[in-house]
Amino acid sequence: MGPLNSLAKLPVAILLLLPCLLARDPSQTSPANPPRSLFTQSAVQVLKRDFSDSNISYLLFDAHSGVLLVGRWENEDKAIPLGSLVKPFTALAYAETHDYRYPSYECKGEASGCWRMQPHGSLDIVSAISVSCNSYFWSLAKNVTSAELVPVTRDFHLESPDDNIAATGLIGLGKQWRIAPSHMARAYLELDERRDQPGVRELLAGMLQSARHGTGAAVGRALKSSDALVKTGTAPCTHSPHAPGDGFVIALVPAQQPEILLMVRVHGVPGAKAAETAGRMLRRMEE
């Protein structure tokens, strides 16, 4: 019996629904399988194939749906120190209690508590995010209480720090403020969703500047055809084998309308060095 004769024997109700059923592609409409662009499909394949180094951990998210596309990160839902990745959220807590006006500040380098020996000089929030200036954010964090941070951590679904956390902990130094990597990645997706809101525009402008000539410049140099929003961080190592610290990177690509968010941890290097690895990963995705 041919296919047309088989169709003729189907109930009328099924025949009426058949065009809709044939038109649907379950892999494209299931919540567990959101629509993906060719770029995101390529990204998943590249990461699985080319970046299996045990020193590299990564999470790749679809920026539109927030769905994790692929990951190679042990215990990504376990809270750990994430270094300077927390700075935008401490800054936003400051902004919400200061009429969304960020301060200007003169960084004097190591003498004023910065990670950089030489001064960064005069900074606003955009340039401070770009170079991840510890001195700038320390001065800002001293005007933020843990209670003032709670609305931000609640809105962005982040773990809150302890009530007695020091200002240094609010800028990601040490191990005081621990956040799950998966939560942090989704918080940056939420930050991008709010890109037109007061206080957020400046943070994303700083991330764009970071990719161009800040701590995330290695990502910007690696990309051939698009800009990125990048934030780097360095934090104490919390996994085996132990190292003095690990470098973290979050990159949203392309900058204007992100399709993906890539979060990377590289064992035993600072954040700016980890950006080189993230840049290679993104470059391979573009090819």
Listed by start position, the domains of the chain span: 36-286
Tokens of 60: 């790749």
Q: Determine the pLDDT at residue 38.
A: 60
The residue ranges of the chain whose pLDDT is under 70 are 1-39
Q: Determine the pLDDT at residue 170.
A: 97
Q: What is the pLDDT of residues 18-57, one digit of tens each?
A: 344 334 333 333 344 444 566 677 778 888 888 888 899 9
CA gap 125, 98 in Å, rounded: 14
> Closest Cα to residue 249, out of 53, 42, 32, 82?
82
Report CA 89 to chain centroid distance, whole Å. 12
pTM: 0.85
36-286 has CATH 3.40.50.300 classification: no
CA gap 71, 93 in Å, rounded: 30
Q: Determine the pLDDT at residue 285.
A: 86
Q: H or E segment at 28?
A: helix 26-29
Q: DSSP secondary-structure letter at 181?
A: H
CA gap 229, 238 in Å, rounded: 26
